[in-house]
Chains A and B, each alone.
Chain A
Amino acid sequence: MARSPSIHVAVVGAGIVGAAAAHFLAAAGARVTLLDASGPAAGATGASDGAVSVASKRPGPMMDLARHARAFYGQCETDGLLRGLFHRRSTFLVARTALEAELVAQHGADLAAAGERVLDVDRPALLSRIPGLGDGVCFALEIPDDGHALGYEVTERLLQRSSVTVRRNAPVSEIVMRAGQAVGVAIRGEMVPADAVLVAAGIGSAGLLALGDILIPRKGQMIVTDRASAGRPAIDGHLMAASYLAAKRGIVRDNAHIGLVIDPLVTGQFLIGGSREDHCADQATDARTVAAILRDALDLYPPLRERRVLRTFAGVRTASCDGLPIVGPHPHLKGVMIATGFEGDGICLGPFMGASAARMILGEAPGIDLSLLAPRRFARAEALA
């Protein structure tokens, strides 16, 4: 990256995307102030599963992006930046009905067409990998090249290994413009001057940039159990039910729908998700939804009956109205870059997209063509007019 030692960038939002952008900007020589209304990983980044998964992505640009983003994790793990935080781990796509089997098979074909390795696993092989798996599982595919990383750990590492100034409890109320050019951000009457501003504030971006019609909060309720094993994942892969694919592929759009994933954490605990509740921006969880998730999880993986629920929590994903992330320069506000709308894919895409946003701020081309994600696609909409 070109050295631009004089440039000062204000990054709004210390989630995984903002932290990655801040890290790579600072690494390229920029002066960076990272501001968050609360603190690092306080939003969806700290309230999500850690799937760095291509297996879950919708065919098309999202699947391709996810492949680049996962490869970027691998590269950051090798070069030391994310050493110890990114683990390769299989995803198992599992079906419990004939209809679901069809969906999983179709999704497998789409993944293979995108260049992803897809392995058939028969039931005996599956049971040897995941002992105790429910009787109802009739078909499964293994996606062996997926991975796992915890969003808050990645965020912390990115900030530790950089000279970024982090300001906690710093809610940005306004981007300060002068002569059509961003000159800083305002926090409680204080002006933080900057040559460029990156807005990576998740659902908070909606208020800051008047994107209320474009960004949709989508709450997800999740459950963490106690340990099933000591200091290592309890099962050899991430279980992703066809119901999750159905939601991701847009086949079901029902606020009561559960897209089930059972995520074995390196602590030996399970993280089980989750609901997809559109237009819900609160972080409350309810027994009705949690019990429904658990019933589905017990059906898929009965050994969970020997576990206890330690915590329930909810994260608010930020979805865009057309289902694609929003990454690129603001069409009208000069010096303002946007990186949000990653929905449930922020942990997977975050480091790569943050690095790409950093390059764009420095006037360089991102690693791959991101024009599909450019905010200007909404330019006709009221909000960005």
Chain B
Amino acid sequence: MTDLPVLVVGGGPAGAAAAVTMAEAGLRVLVVEQRDRLGGAIHRQPVAGARQVWKGPARHQRNWAELAERVERAAGRIELRTSTVFLGVDGEGRFLFDDRVAGRVFARPVRAAVVAVGAVERIRPFEGWELPGVMSAGGAQVLLKETGQPPEGAIVVAGSGPLLLAVSAQLARAGNPPLAVLERGRPWRSPRALARLMTAGPQLGEAISYAAALAAKAVPYHAGSEVLSVRETGEGLEIRMRIGGSDRLLQARHLLIHDGLEPNRAGIPLPAPEANIPVFHAGDGREILGADAAILDGRRAAAAVLASLGRAAPVALLEARLSKARDFQLALSDALHSPAALPSPETLLCRCEGRRYADFAALPADASAREIRLMGRFGLGVCQGRFCGPMIAELRGEPLPLSSPPRWPLRPVSVAALAKFSTDETES
């Protein structure tokens, strides 16, 4: 048992920080990352031959360079499996992984696990959000980092949150500034929250540099504005929007949407430190606190693993700094808060199964989680409720109960790869 590795799922800042902290404390660590290299969405590197359009704030680069170097130094204790997807824990307690290169599912015994799989974007649905040409702002950002090229043709960015500003500024610097940026929130309505945000040094500096990039290209930024619906025309998208008090139509090729972040947690077993094999969440996958805090949170999770193994691991300082990050996020969500509006009956909630708001509204008010899944078909589709789950939680005013026992696979897995699973081949 003592030479079994601790599993770290996810190679972003939280996962990398957790891995190096544990490796430096003498533990063996197994890191699995779905992509072909570490970094996560925040530190996605350009492919060979692509230019790097946007390096991000200097402190992010420094932080990541330092982590990457520590991973390198601890290579003897860290086993890295890239292009490998964590599938969850099965009914016999096996931690299962999908090796996408070998095309085979395998199990590995571990002594503890840190799950640091980041965030998924929240989407407030409107008619047409499912159309090709509509992309999440975060998804567009990842592709921009990777290819160094913005999408071709006119772009509109809409929704809520600081990411809108960041993506828009990066598009502008890459040579395709958006036609307009629509922020649903009205930050000037919450002067107290704004004042709290002003005290956050680094984030404020970032926001100012983004605003400057947008101003340089004369990109209009409309607060208190939102997209009402989208439809396809021959040339692209026709976007109906409300800017201030009036409705407007705009033609664009791409609409990038984003309404905040949600821990990416669908189906992942909740932390149970008292369990035989304790599982801890870390980073934005535990609580949305941003990239700086994710590193601290990875260290906090590592400390929790060490403590569960009877090793002293002080966390008080970390907790204090995490709590500061939490204050910032709370002020941000206060400043940008906008009341939820009911979608139109025809609005798609579940893209995977084609289920609309009318289908949800037709379910009995006291419908069980099972009925919402089976009769509503919500949470039954390929994304396994990662997108409609938060929408439904907002509409119901309470989260969807978790399925019990926890389901695996956490992500769809090839039939052929799973058929190759064998208990004889369990690696140790």
Contacts and interface: CB of A to CB of B under 8 A. Distances in A.
Interface in A279-312: 282-288, 290-291, 294-295, 297-298, 304-305, 307-312
B307 interface: no
A38 interface: yes
B58 interface: no
Interface in A141-163: 152-153, 156
A156 B363 CA distance: 11
Contacts of B63: none
Contacts of A378: none
Contact of B419 (A282, A291, A311): A291
B407 A311 contact: yes
A168 interface: yes
B310 interface: no
A312 B421 CA distance: 15
Nearest to B366: A168
Contacts, number: 101
A269 to B, nearest CB: 10
B395 interface: no
B368 A39 contact: yes
A225 B409 CA distance: 12
Nearest to B421: A291
B339 interface: no
A226 to B, nearest CB: 6
B415 A282 contact: no
A285 B91 contact: yes
A345 to B, nearest CB: 20
Size class of the A contact interface (CB-based, 8 Å): 35 or more
A285 B370 contact: no
A282 B405 contact: yes
B412 A308 contact: yes
Contact of A286 (B90, B367, B374, B375): B90
A324 interface: no
Given A41-B371, A152-B375, A168-B368, A285 B416 contact: no
Given A46-B374, A295-B419, A226 B405 contact: no
B420 interface: yes
Interface in B60-83: none
B295 interface: no
A11 B247 CA distance: 55
A324 B322 CA distance: 61
A42 B94 CA distance: 26
A40 B367 CA distance: 9
The majority secondary structure among interface residues of chain A is: mixed
Interface string B363-396: 0001110110011000011101000000000000
Nearest to A284: B91
Given A168-B366, A287-B418, A291-B419, A312 B409 contact: yes
A288 B405 CA distance: 17
A72 interface: no
Q: Which of B374, B382, B423 has the most CB of A within 10 A?
A: B374
A298 B412 CA distance: 17
A297 B361 CA distance: 38
B223 interface: no
Contact of B90 (A46, A287, A297): A287
A225 to B, nearest CB: 6
Contacts of A41: 370-371, 374
Nearest to B87: A287
A285 B408 contact: yes
Contacts of A310: 381-382, 384, 412
Contacts of B422: 291
A109 B365 CA distance: 51
Contacts of B375: 152-153, 156
Q: Which of B409, B412, B415 has the most CB of A within 10 A?
A: B415
Interface in B274-311: none
B197 interface: no
B227 to A, nearest CB: 29
Interface residues of B, number: 34
B415 A305 contact: yes
Contacts of A152: 374-375
B331 interface: no
Contacts of A290: 90, 418, 421
B94 A287 contact: yes
A324 B231 CA distance: 57
Contacts of A283: 404-405
B414 interface: yes
Given A284-B90, A291-B422, A46 B370 contact: yes
A153 B91 CA distance: 28
A87 B414 CA distance: 29
Given A282-B405, A286-B91, A291-B105, A309 B382 contact: no
A294 B96 CA distance: 16
Interface string A298-332: 10000011011111111000000000000000000
A46 B414 CA distance: 24
Contacts of A156: 371, 375
B152 interface: no
Nearest to B105: A287
Contact of B405 (A39, A225, A284, A291): A284
A41 B384 CA distance: 20
Contacts of B398: none
B209 to A, nearest CB: 42
B409 A226 contact: no
A309 B409 contact: yes
Contact of B368 (A42, A153, A284, A298): A42
Contact of A287 (B107, B367, B382, B405): B107
Interface in B336-376: 366-368, 370-371, 374-375
Contacts of B404: 283
B92 interface: yes
A385 to B, nearest CB: 36
Interface string B109-146: 00000000000000000000000000000000000000
Interface in A1-53: 38-42, 46
B138 to A, nearest CB: 24
Given A38-B370, A39-B370, A310-B382, A305 B416 contact: yes
Interface string A42-75: 1000100000000000000000000000000000
Nearest to B405: A284
17 contacts: A39-B371, A226-B382, A282-B405, A285-B91, A285-B408, A286-B91, A287-B90, A287-B96, A287-B421, A291-B419, A291-B420, A298-B416, A305-B414, A307-B414, A309-B418, A311-B384, A312-B407
Interface of B: 90-92, 94, 96, 105, 107, 366-368, 370-371, 374-375, 380-382, 384, 404-405, 407-409, 412-416, 418-423
Ranked 5 nearest A-B pairs via Cβ: A284-B91, A39-B368, A294-B419, A291-B421, A308-B412
Given A169-B368, A291-B420, A310-B382, 9 more contacts: A46-B370, A152-B375, A156-B375, A287-B92, A287-B105, A291-B418, A297-B415, A304-B415, A308-B382
